[in-house]
A and B are shown apart, each in its own frame.
Chain A
Amino acid sequence: MVRQRVRLVLLWLFIVLCGATLVTVLLGRRVPPLSDPVEQGEILADAALQHFQYSEIRDGRTFWSLEGETALYQLEQDRVELQPVTLTLPRADGILRLVAQNGTAWPNEQRITLEGAVELTRPDGYRVRCDRLIFEGKLGSEGQLSSDAAVELSGPQLQLSGSGLRYDLAQRQLHLQQTVRATLVPRP
């Protein structure tokens, strides 16, 4: 008699367990997947910083340095998003200074994308303006700047426009690959 009662209780327990599992599975399918919080306007970052500054030192000298009013650091992608952004490139022929509304940096890859009213200035008076510019520190010995957007370059005795810019900072060679227009003033 007692054995029969125990068996009955175990049977009920088993039925309840199956029912609970079934409900959980069903509930799990109906609940919508967590949509990317960024789409809902919330920014998910591992670190949110103010007055951010980061410098990359190579052979004892500053290879590049980044500054931003606000910076969001994503640990997993090793990515920093800055607003607004200033990128400084100290080189033998002078310090190149680049400013833009937004910047995204991948420090380990030494790659920085600048977007929105990008302006590069050189001490000798040259200025480059475009909407998008990429710095890649691993290309060439001093890095390379590139842009597929339309660019305008102005400086003493020179006005240039075109697209498909490539500038090698070590070779000091600039390449415009499309629709080039230039005005050269022969003498100072």
Chain B
Amino acid sequence: AQEGQIQHDSGLPVQVVANQLQVDDVRGLFVFSGQVQARQDQATIYADKLTVFYQQQGSKRQIERVLAEGAVRIVQLDRVAYGERAEFFVAEARIELGGAPRVVQGENEVAGETIRLYLNERRSQVEGGSQQRVRALFVPEHGDAS
């Protein structure tokens, strides 16, 4: 597993590539659709649709959260998260994953009903629920097992 330092600067620009875009200046929305890729610092989100919610103050804009939907995959160094839905709270650098979410890091994997991913830490928080109990697979580092 790559031992790179996990960190995330939520102030950096977000680069997005998509097939289509709808901007709604009144409701403060950017809706990207079609093979969407959005990258900020070390994290890249892949999804069918990405909605960016922003607050407009005069000509200034504050992005508050980003909602990814449909075949969501989030890659940050060696950590990969999957789900059908992911809500990224920009100021807190936190992602809430739903829709059969799971996180894979190297050979380890966790799954549950909801997963909270902290982009500034190597920490994830997994919650079970009526539909999916927490499931975790941890593979000892080679050499640890002896």
Q: Are B62 and A186 within 8 A (Cβ)? A: yes
B16 nearest CB neighbor, chain A only: A182
Q: Across the interface, name the chain A residue whose C-beta is closest to B33.
A: A180
Residues of B within 8 A of A (CB): 10-26, 30, 32, 40, 52, 57-63, 90
- Please tell me if the beta carbons of B60 and A188 are within 8 angstroms of each other in the complex: yes
- Using Cβ atoms and an 8 Å threshold, which residues of chain B touch A173? 22-26
**Could you list which residues of chain A lie within 8 angstroms of chain B, going by C-beta atoms?**
93, 124-125, 155-158, 160, 162, 171-188
B13 near A183: Cβ-Cβ < 8 Å: yes
How far is B21's CA from A181's CA once the two chains are assembled, in angstroms? Answer: 9
The answer to whether B62 touches A171, judged by C-beta atoms less than 8 angstroms apart, is no
Tally of A-B residue pairs with Cβ under 8 A? 83
CB distance from B87 to the nearest CB of A (A): 15
Determine chain A's interface SS by DSSP, over half rule: strand
Cross-chain contact of A178 among B19, B23, B25 (Cβ < 8 A):
B19
Chain B: minimal CB distance from A59 (Å): 21
Residues in chain A near residue B32, CB distance under 8 A: 180, 182
Partner of A180, one of B20, B24, B60: B20
Are the C-beta atoms of B22 and A182 separated by less than 8 Å? no
B15 near A177 with CB under 8 A, answer no
Residue pairs across A and B with Cβ atoms less than 8 A apart, 27 shown, are A124-B59, A125-B59, A155-B59, A157-B61, A171-B26, A172-B24, A173-B22, A173-B23, A174-B21, A175-B20, A176-B21, A180-B16, A180-B18, A180-B19, A180-B32, A181-B15, A181-B16, A181-B17, A182-B21, A182-B30, A182-B32, A183-B14, A183-B15, A185-B13, A186-B14, A188-B57, A188-B60
With the chains together, A187 CA to B63 CA distance in Å?
7
For the complex, what is the distance from the CA of A27 to the CA of B16, rounded to whole Å? 70
